[in-house]
A = this chain, B = another copy of it.
Amino acid sequence: MCVRAVMCVLWAACVCQADPNIIIMLMDDMGWGDLGVFGEPSKETPNLDLMAAQGMLFPNFYTANPLCSPSRAALLTGRLPVRNGFYTTNAHARNAYTPQEIVGGISQDEILLPELLKKKDYISKIVGKWHLGHRTQYLPLKHGFDEWFGAPNCHFGPYNDSSRPNIPVYNNSEMKGRYYEDFEINVKTGESNLTQIYLEEGLKFISQQATAQQPFFLYWAPDATHAPVYASKHFLGKSQRGRYGDAVMELDYSVGQILAQLVSLGIHNNTLVFFTSDNGAAVMSGPHQSGSNGPFLCGKETTFEGGMREPAIAWWPGRIPAGTVSHQLGSVMDLFSTSLSVAGVLPPDDRVIDGLDLSPALFNSSLQDRPIFYYRGNQMMAVRIGQYKAHYWTWSNSWEEFNMGINFCPGQEVPGVTTHTQEEHALLPLIFHLGRDPGEKYPISVQSKEYMDVLRQVTAVVHQHQGALIPGAPQLNMCDLAVMNWSPAGCERLGKCLKGPESKPWKCDWPH
């Protein structure tokens, strides 16, 4: 350990020889437009706005899929869900995830960021939502994390135990209780202490590693802004936006606490912190349970900008220039590659890595050309190169759902774009200039020179991508009530083991 010891002298700047710590703060369903610095009118995120003022803002940062599980799998593997298997082939262009009845999870063949960081003896902890599979073999400690405090699935519920168990909360490899039972979320009032618990878990871990002069990776993934949204008593009623804004304010407060702790421990100059979200705001959930995608079209579940563009801030005092904006096109998968890069670990060379090392943007303010692919399931729906985005397939959701009142684009309607049938545009993709038209309202005329020039460039990129693409085995096809969280490890000690039904697998139904 001593080679990593931080050498400091009182009268000079701290020269940190240690491998840098890495903190990824991943929000759940928080939209691009939810931060003050990204234009939320109530300006309720002073800590995040300050983080941006002290760091680098990425207004062009994307998830790899507009839904939790595949987004998180992509972040931790540096690979598109179509490669790491976090998709379904049960139906065309459907987002799949890991509800309790899912049989699959993250493949043993995938290599996750914390596994690679072990090469440099990092200690890794995940706090909060995992969502890469809840069966024993899929849990975080089987995939490189040393510690975990959180839950494998969404905090949906409360459920009736006899037909559906409440989601367990784990401390490392054993459950500590269940949501709604031992870890309360009052669905009526929206009160829950979970964000405070997740904050404390994060702070404690940071403090322990700093004391031990131990380089660490903290994957801080609270889920307070995922419906049903919650906040602790102190924050309820504090925002101008109702319960959703209250949750944002508590998360913002927590971010401030974590950054302040880094400073007070003196490790801020040796810690890369990256803040982002897993998918766009779930605008279909209405104004009480979802956030804002700012000027962008639609939200979660869709491959419009509202579904996939994410708030993103990088912070590393002394290394990342303060108060800067990078127009680098970025992706959650880049956090895999960038983390490896700053830790000095080479990425795997036996597989395609989609992540880009953002070091040039972070440390030299330089930009790299790269495409952004927008997938829904295993279907590439759209691609962005530079300021241009080409849609090869469009749909928001089905007429059946829409007519039932489920609207993925409330208040928005762009004829021919926000379609309710799956529309293929392979021959003449719908092309938008996201600089002058961030809302994807004005397809560029197919008769223009601009269109033809962009089409030529984008076609080459798409051909190259699709020609070389070997999809991973799909992990999200099968469901079975028997696999639900009936008896997670540690349930015996708590008297929380439940008996599930016989195994009766079926092909999962993914409507979106």
Identify the A interface with B (CB < 8 A): 33, 36-43, 53, 57, 59-60, 239-242, 244-245, 286-288, 292, 294-295, 297, 325, 327, 387, 410-414, 433-442
Contact = CB atoms under 8 A, between A and B. Distances in A.
- Kindly list the 6 A-B residue pairs having the minimum CB-CB distance in the complex, ordered from nearest: A39-B39, A240-B435, A411-B441, A242-B436, A287-B437, A287-B436
Contacts of A244: 436
A325 B43 contact: yes
Contacts of A239: 435
5 contacts: A33-B294, A33-B295, A41-B59, A41-B295, A241-B435
Main secondary structure of the interface of A (DSSP, over half): loop
A417 B33 CA distance: 23
B327 A240 contact: yes
A60 B40 CA distance: 11
Contact of A59 (B42, B59, B292, B410): B42
Contacts of A441: 287, 410-411
A288 to B, nearest CB: 7
Nearest to A442: B287
A437 B289 CA distance: 11
B245 A436 contact: yes
Nearest to A39: B39
A400 to B, nearest CB: 19
Contact of A438 (B292, B412, B434): B292
Nearest to A243: B436
A441 B433 CA distance: 26
B295 A294 contact: yes
Given A411-B297, A441-B411, A33 B39 contact: yes
Contacts of A245: 435-436
A292 B295 contact: yes
Nearest to A41: B59
